[in-house]
Amino acid sequence: MISAPRSGQAGFTLIEVLVALTILSIAMTALIAVIATGLDRQRQARDETTAMSLARSLLEQAERSQTPQADDSGAFSNGFSWRRQSVPYGSATDQQAWPVTAERVTITISWANRTRSLSTLRLLPKPVPQP
């Protein structure tokens, strides 16, 4: 024999459904916050990588040049801007004693209120004195 279901024992009550939906919404809120944080960190890492790549590229250009670099600045089309600073390296006595001219070249990349800098030391032939 098949017995008929008793009334009051079949299905979920309204309170049970509301509690389940509340737990689900709290879990979804936490999950969305974790995903948003992960995406933000990924964007920051991408921007840092882009900035360092641009700085390395500008330093390589400066290193290939055989003349002292003048201070300069500019902007890239992707929202990053750059500044190149060149200063003599060593004291005046050191510079006279060395067989080469040394300068420190610093590239600073700026974007979205952040900056990163890379520096290198360039050695150049001393200029030949003109008679």
Contact, 122 vs 62, CB < 8 A?
Answer: yes
For residue 55, the tally of other CB atoms under 10 A from its CB is: 21
Of the two residues 64 and 35, the one the predictor is more confident about is 35
Looking at residues 1-9, what average pLDDT do you find? 58
pLDDT range class, residue 28, cuts 50, 70, 90:
very high
Contact, 108 vs 117, CB < 8 A?
Answer: yes
Please report where in the chains the tokens 């250009």 appear, as a residue.
61
Contact, 124 vs 98, CB < 8 A?
Answer: no
Computed over every residue of the chain, the mean pLDDT equals 89
Looking at residues 87-101, what average pLDDT do you find? 90
Least reliable range by pLDDT among 5-9, 27-31, 101-105 = 5-9
pLDDT for residue 126 is more than 60: yes
Tell how strand 114-125 and strand 100-111 pair up.
antiparallel
Q: What is the pLDDT of residue 47?
A: 94
Residues 6 or more apart whose CB falls under 8 angstroms from that of 50 comprise 78, 80
Q: What is the pLDDT of residue 63?
A: 85
Q: What is the pLDDT of residue 27?
A: 96
Q: What is the pLDDT of residue 62?
A: 87
pTM: 0.71
54 is written with which tokens? 């641009």
Spell out a b/e string for 67-83, using b for 16 or more CB atoms within 10 Å of the CB, else e: eebeeeeeeeeeebebb
